[in-house]
Amino acid sequence: MLQQVNVNIDGANIRATRGTTVLDAAIEYGICIPHLCHVPYLSSISACRLCIVEHVVNGRSNVTASCTLNVEEGMVILTNTDKIRRLRRNLAELLVAQAPNSRAIQDIALRCGVKEVRYPFRNDDCVLCGRCVQMCTEVWKARAIGFVGRGKERHVDYPFGIRPDFCKQCGSCVQLCPMTIPPCDGPMKPGEEYLCRKCESQLMLADETPDHCVWCKLGESFGCGRYVGIKS
């Protein structure tokens, strides 16, 4: 039998199934927590950190990623405080500076309220969100790609950099990659990166009700949980 627990997210009392994450519960209820690396049918590795929330325990709040935080009885979660918005904006700014060449990343940056990018654009074409790695590992059990190296040398690669036989070139990793969605004006040239901000009109509703999921279309490109459907 599925056990239900009561969670308080942004003042709303939500009954969620034990074992689900705070992010899933919030999206299901219609509270918008921006996220990038989370895919509803894969387990989360909390790589992008965009889904950070404040978890209030005994009057003190911990900032933590909600995609790996399981719901517990009597939990108090705040998803949209000034502090969270500031931190999230900064994270989104770093992501868009790392890889501006993607509609998905541009969208998420806009959704998190990035107005300018204070960091030099790197144009690395990868934000290490790990969606491809999780797909290969969990759905296909192939483990043909994975993270290699450490720190700033960390990247996604085949074992020894050579495509192994057990990679069937299914392309699921590519389908999930946020970098496969080019910006509306086409790929940016190195040295000419910019913050797109074209979809800013999408944000009018979201600005009025910042803590509600308004199906803002900004999540469509990277498969926001609301569009893909909730893990049952």
Binding stretches for other proteins (CB under 8 A): 143-150, 158-160, 164
Closest distance to other proteins from the beta carbon of 174 (Å) = 18
SS3 169: coil
Q: Which helix (H) or strand (E) holds 9?
A: strand 4-9
Closest distance to other proteins from the beta carbon of 156 (Å) = 10
Q: Report whether 220 contacts 227 (CB < 8 A).
A: yes
Closest CB to other proteins among 163 and 197? 163
Closest distance to other proteins from the beta carbon of 141 (Å) = 9
Closest distance to other proteins from the beta carbon of 21 (Å) = 25
Closest CB to other proteins among 164 and 190? 164
- The closest of 223, 20, 225, 19 to 132, measured between CA atoms, is 223
161: left (phi over 0), alpha (psi -120 to 50) or beta: left
Q: Hey, which residues does 12 pair with through a beta bridge?
A: 9
Closest CB to other proteins among 31 and 177? 177
Q: Which helix (H) or strand (E) holds 16?
A: strand 12-17
Closest CB to other proteins among 150 and 152? 150
Closest CB to other proteins among 76 and 148? 148
Which tokens sit at 122?
């790197």
The burial class, CB within 10 Å (0-12 / 13-18 / 19+), for 190 is exposed
Distance (Å) of CA 42 to CA 9, 105, 131, 133, 143: 23, 20, 8, 10, 14
Closest distance to other proteins from the beta carbon of 43 (Å) = 16
**The residue to which tokens 């107005």 are assigned:** 115
Closest distance to other proteins from the beta carbon of 182 (Å) = 29
Closest CB to other proteins among 19 and 164? 164
